[in-house]
Amino acid sequence: MPHQTTTSASQVQVKHNSVVAVDEVSIDEEAAPKKHKGGYKQINKSLNICVFEGFLEAQLARLPEIADVEQLTPRVLRVLGQNAGKFTLQGTNTYIIGTGAKRLLIDTGQGIPEWAGIISSTLAKMSISLSHVLLTHWHGDHTGGVPDLIRLYPHLADSIYKHTPSSTQNPISDGQVFTVEGATVRAVHAPGHSHDHMCFVLEEENAMVTGDNILGHGTAAVEHLSTWMASLVVMQKQNCGIGYPAHGVVVKNLPGKIALELAAKRRRETQVLRALVQIGSGASVGKLVSAMHGDELDPEVRRMAVEPFIGEVLKKLAEDGKVAFRVRHGEKSWFAIA
């Protein structure tokens, strides 16, 4: 059921970020932000999907600094999660949505204490409070701040919403609408990066909070590539012009960014097929990555980002009937189907 709160409007100052286009490039550690709180290892030690396939691209970009707190539009306030790191880029973006005294929060960062402090001081300074907390998905760099938030604001314990919720959370269904003064937020189930991934359309701005499906820099890793690509098509059909991503700057041309992502993944499928044909005798994921990228990749990036993504490409190509595998010595050996 929709949830509505009516309160008075507040005046804010508007400031927009620019978008940096990133193409395929190599790694440059010096280009990453210098404060390294958080990062993949603190998100989930056993998870190899909550990383950026676009890390290889985004690392060379001179990533613009993102302010701790920035009013992007009259109804969108971005608060940075304070978890910048090797795989989180500038950190997780969390968004306070609305114009009145009670507002929505989308995502809670990774559980970094500084984020909770910034949220608390920001709410106090603006004389506003939170009515609901919406989570884009279950990954720890989006849900980690929930305990601190409930500690600070116990009334929120019954107002945490997520698709496929835990026993203490409320469910979000596709098409569900949440309203506060100045903002109508519609949920869109868009799985693939994770099974429970949600995006949120901000109707008044023709904008979408894209979570990890579309990033401000580079591109995201996924649990299931074909599902993610289908979700991008669903996102396209919402006809939103602006994207508020979970990592990176505002995406000013969301339709264009989605089109580029789809084209890039199809290009990568072609590259994987070509590499398999050139190898000829069949290849493990590791051998295929070496053939495509050489052996100079950072071992952590290779293990946690590149190899899982190439594995997902192979699964999609298998679903499309373009590749198959045989098991040799307990390892899958992939080959192209003529």
Active-site residue set: 141
Instruction: Retrieve residue 283's tokens.
Output: 């290849």
Token reading at 184: 């109508």
Rg (CA), the chain: 20
* C-alpha distances in Å from residue 258, one per residue of 73, 185, 222, 262, 309: 22, 21, 15, 6, 18
**What order do you get walking across the sheet with 170-171 strand by strand?**
69-73, 76-80, 93-97, 102-106, 129-134, 160-162, 170-171
Residue burial 141-177, b: 16+ Cβ < 10 Å; e: rest: bbbbbbebbbeebeebeebbbbbeeeeebeebeeebe
d(CA 147, CA 247): 21
What is the rounded CA–CA span in Å between residue 187 and residue 175?
5
CB hemisphere CA count around 16 (13 angstroms): 6
Q: What type of residue is 307?
A: E
